[in-house]
Amino acid sequence: MIIKKYIVLLIMLLSVTSAYSQIDLLRSKIENILSGKRAKVGVAISSLDLKDTLSVNGNDRFVMQSVFKFHIALAIMNLVEEGKLSLSQEVFITKAELMPDTWSPLRDKYPEGNVKVTLDEILRFTVAQSDNNGCDILLKLLGGTSRVNDFIHSIGINDVSISKTEEDMHKGVEAQFANWTTPIAASMLLDKFTYTYSQNKSLNHLWQIMTETTTGPKRLKGLLPEGTVVAHKTGSSDTNDEGMTYAVNDIGIVVLPDGRKYSIAVFVTNSYEKYEDSEKIIADISKAAYDYFLDKSSK
């Protein structure tokens, strides 16, 4: 289970101004990246290893979209760690559970359904490939969105709300706004995960899955040096008839060459930029953060 006692440390790290003046330079770079952009952007960056933190619109609420699959995966792994679930157990998936008009590599592999699939395989589809059907199957296994919401709150992350399934969100655009978080809350959750995954077999397994994420290659990873390890989870929405995209998100943990890490959460919402330009906002902020922490780690 994720260790609760570090929440006080994380709150302190995310609520105080860094003693290093360089953080102001990073903030200035981020402000320049955002200048003139037709979107609202939330950013939270934190490093327990290098004892630094920064946020922009950090306490504002942002639509998560598929970012909430990370929260779901944590709830699943908590039950695995407690022995209530097993990654090797088989879950029977009916054809009716495989929605046809949604992103689902799981459905593409098992188009007729009525098949037993291991929990581990469903988890991999859901996290690494952001499978929407896999997401709702995991939610059913957990007992619904409220179980995930309660679990995340129980470990000290309060600025988050999870109440809608992927099926719910496909019924109307308004439903997506019920699943929200703040950038600071997302970064705090990543920090807790970072601190504990190496000490916890189940969370270490999730870490490996997140490093294999195939979605959003042009976001957090887009401008980083080839081979940089990034354990991340993306979230994306449709674009409406007026050309506004509700959400282009990516949150994750980046490993520096010396092994030290930092968390970064970037949410781009209500964006009138081209989709690829919204992704580049994330990539540019990610590169600025990487350069900052790389320089700091070398001193």
Q: Tell the burial category of 179 from Cβ atoms under 10 Å away from its Cβ (0-12, 13-18, 19+).
A: buried
Q: Which amino acid is at 87?
A: L
Q: What are phi and psi of 84, to 5 degrees?
A: -85, -20
Among candidate residues 47, 55, 97, 166, the one labeled active-site is 166
| Degrees to nearest 5, angle at CA 236 with 34 and 101 | 155
The sheet that has 62-63: what strands, in order across it?
Answer: 62-63, 180-181, 160-161
Does residue 90 sit in helix, strand or coil? Answer: strand
- How many CB atoms are located within 10 Å of the residue 174 CB? 9
CA distances from 86 to 45, 76, 90, 118, 208 (A): 33, 9, 9, 9, 17
DSSP 228: -
Taking only Cα atoms into account, the Rg of the chain, rounded to an integer number of angstroms, comes to 18
Among candidate residues 66, 161, 271, 278, the one labeled active-site is 66
The answer to whether 66 is a known catalytic residue is yes
Residues classed as catalytic: 66, 166
